[in-house]
Amino acid sequence: MILITGAAGLIGSNIAFYLNSIGHRDLILVDQLRSSEKWKNLTSLNYRDYYEKEQLSTLLKSGKIKPSTIFHMGACSDTTEKNASYLIENNFQFSKELFLISQDIGAKFIYASSAATYGEGENGYCDNETDIDMLRPLNMYGYSKQMFDQWLLHNGYMSSAVGLKYFNVYGPNEYHKGQMRSLVLKAYEQIVQNGQINLFKSYKPEYQDGEQMRDFLYVKDAAKMTVHFMDSAHSGIFNLGTSECRTWNDLAKSIFSAMKLQENIQYIDMPEELKEKYQYYTKADISKLRSTGYTESLMSIEDAVEDYVQRYLVNQSHL
């Protein structure tokens, strides 16, 4: 039995879909659906049961469900969330509780950390556990993820968990994410509405407008990478990205290409509240991932964006 928290989210639903594709049906899905539309991300999945987050601890402690692996993807992922107490409760306290339960029941624990923990990248993007305490996230979301990484490290638990630092993930099943949807989805809608894409201006002289650089990871690749650790003996922190830096301009151009339209990119002012919290450069070092035996090739943004646009966005469909 495999348990997935955040199962109706972008990464969680793609993990479940990929597990289905390789023959796993014995899945327990957990989320908080409330009044959002993310329930639609569950409709194509095959699973044993679904539970709301509030029920999970009791069910696990009672032995009613006994997973061999827990994929803990559930969290508040809004990088602009200002309610620190809410983030601590959802991203830190609940993660601690779930991890300790996993130890009691003997389940493998694989969880979502984040590249947001790296801050401006002043200490690099290397996923060595010994570097964790040097990292300085730029926002409270990143720090809530950092808190859990540090808690595992400082309490001697890192050898019993797999923490995955996802870089800029995009792809099908992110319609529900509001302002945290990827540029691909936002830009697609902008093009449909007015024929152009808006990108933030740069406020650092070393970067031209739209030349800020990120490591963009297609969610289908992210799901495969994550599931790889289910049968792996490795533990610790791992970067999940492409190990390739691309600009926002590159991404925007790939969207126009996938839609077979002429490029029309406009540069707009960045909101004041983001200027001090904005990452201008991210690049995952995935050599540690590769050292575990993960040999799959990764999709380029051109191929991934074409897949996303043509198979999903054009039809407003889910997986």
Q: What own/partner pairs with CB < 8 Å and gap ≥ 24 does 122-128 have? A: 124/285, 125/239, 125/282, 125/283, 125/284, 125/285, 126/285, 127/165, 127/236, 127/237, 127/238, 127/239, 127/285, 127/288, 128/237, 128/288
User: Length of the chain in residues, anyone?
Assistant: 319
The residue annotated as part of the active site, out of 47, 141, 143, 312, is 141
**Of 169, 167, 170, residue with least CA distance to 309:** 170
The alpha carbon of 48 is separated from its chain's Cα centroid by a whole number of angstroms, namely 24
Residue 266 β-bridge partners: 198
Q: Reduce the DSSP state of residue 197 to 3 states and report it.
A: strand
User: Is residue 177 among the annotated active site residues?
Assistant: yes
CB 234 within 8 A of CB 26: no
- Check the CA dihedral 152-153-158-163 and report its sign: positive
Q: Reduce the DSSP state of residue 281 to 3 states and report it.
A: strand
- Check the CA dihedral 288-293-295-299 and report its sign: negative
The residue annotated as part of the active site, out of 40, 53, 96, 177, is 177
Report helix angle 219-228 to 301-308, nearest 10. 110
CB 129 within 8 A of CB 236: yes
Residue with tokens 């049961």: 49
User: Is residue 165 among the annotated active site residues?
Assistant: no
Would you please indicate which residues are annotated as catalytic (active-site) residues?
141, 177
